[in-house]
Amino acid sequence: MTDRLTQLIQAVEEADSSKLLLEAVQNLADAQLVGAIPILIEALSYNNPGAAVASVDGLIKLGNPAVPALLELLDMHNYTARSWAIRALAGIGDPRGLITLLGVATADFAMSVRRAAVKGLGMMKWRWFPDELREMAQEEALDALLFVAQQDEEWVVRYAAVVGLEALAITIANKLPTWRSEIQVQFNLMGCNDEVLAIRARVWLAQQRLQQRLQQTYTSNFDISQKSSAVQEKESPLTSDDWQNILNHLYEMKNEERLSAVSEGDPRRFQDLAAAIGQTFSKDNPCN
């Protein structure tokens, strides 16, 4: 295994053309060797988008072992490398990337990076979160996804927000019905009002899937499959320090929100939601 890794890394280092570099990085990524992580990380900063895409795919396949190196890369000043790292973090769904994805989803200037972050929030491994931390983290994810769905000017980012909201709604379907209802109302608004037909179609699909999942929760087969998947999913590799770090950052975000946003419980926060609910129940067709 060591000899193979050495040969693959050597091929990357000796590549003397864009084509050979792409092939070498692709072969290294396909090998799925943990020892390849440093070179795959390095490839994110190459002036070769194809190699960067191959590296991102390889890092996602390697999963959680790649997260510490990706987080370290985010501290660097190479924006191109950082943007690829965010894509990899989003694809892995490790909770250690949560704070980064929350900030990037709502504030990054690059459309493709916001899109990746939004998708990452939808794919977060929520089962790994301790009970006392999960709801706080999901609330931040919900707020970010709703903000993007309502405010982002780029339709592909709003489309990604629909995907993320669907995944979150399915996750919280039974435990947090109020939040689920808020997501459903947002779907109704987008399904009726978004100018992009692709988004309306994706909203319709999300609504259908969410409805199917809600119906399945009443069947024993679904309960059994859920228990089975929970058993099969590997345990979280995060340490108590990791969770404490996430919690500290979430508290910081909460404090910033209290200072800059309307206060919790302010009726203005729910004006759009209340109006949409009124539209939803005014007639059978919420778009009327």
Radius of gyration of the chain (CA): 21
- The Cα 20–Cα 248 span in angstroms is 45
- The Cα 84–Cα 54 span in angstroms is 11
Q: What pLDDT is recorded for position 286?
A: 61
- Structural domains of the chain, ranges and CATH numbers in brackets: 1-92 (1.25.10), 94-288 (no CATH)
Q: What pLDDT is recorded for position 213?
A: 86
Interval 202-241: pLDDT, tens: 999 999 999 998 888 655 454 444 444 444 456 788 999 9
Nearest residue to 190 (alpha-carbon basis) of 145, 224, 235? 145
93's CB contacts (< 8 A; 6+ apart) are: 120, 123, 124, 125
Q: What pLDDT is recorded for position 283?
A: 47
Instruction: Show pLDDT as tens, one digit a residue, over the chain (288 residues).
Output: 578 999 999 999 999 999 999 999 999 999 999 999 999 999 999 989 999 999 999 999 999 999 999 998 887 777 888 889 999 999 999 999 999 999 999 999 999 899 999 989 988 999 999 988 999 999 999 999 999 999 999 999 999 999 999 999 999 888 888 999 999 999 999 999 999 999 999 999 999 999 998 888 655 454 444 444 444 456 788 999 999 999 999 988 888 877 775 444 444 444 444 444 444 444 455 676
Q: Is the full-model pTM beyond 0.85?
A: no
Q: What pLDDT is recorded for position 235?
A: 79
For residue 75, give the DSSP letter: T
The upper half-sphere exposure of residue 270, i.e. CA atoms within 13 Å in the direction of its Cβ, equals 12
- The Cα 260–Cα 55 span in angstroms is 38
Nearest residue to 36 (alpha-carbon basis) of 27, 23, 46? 27
Nearest residue to 99 (alpha-carbon basis) of 90, 109, 110? 90
Interval 248-283: pLDDT, tens: 999 888 888 777 754 444 444 444 444 444 444 444
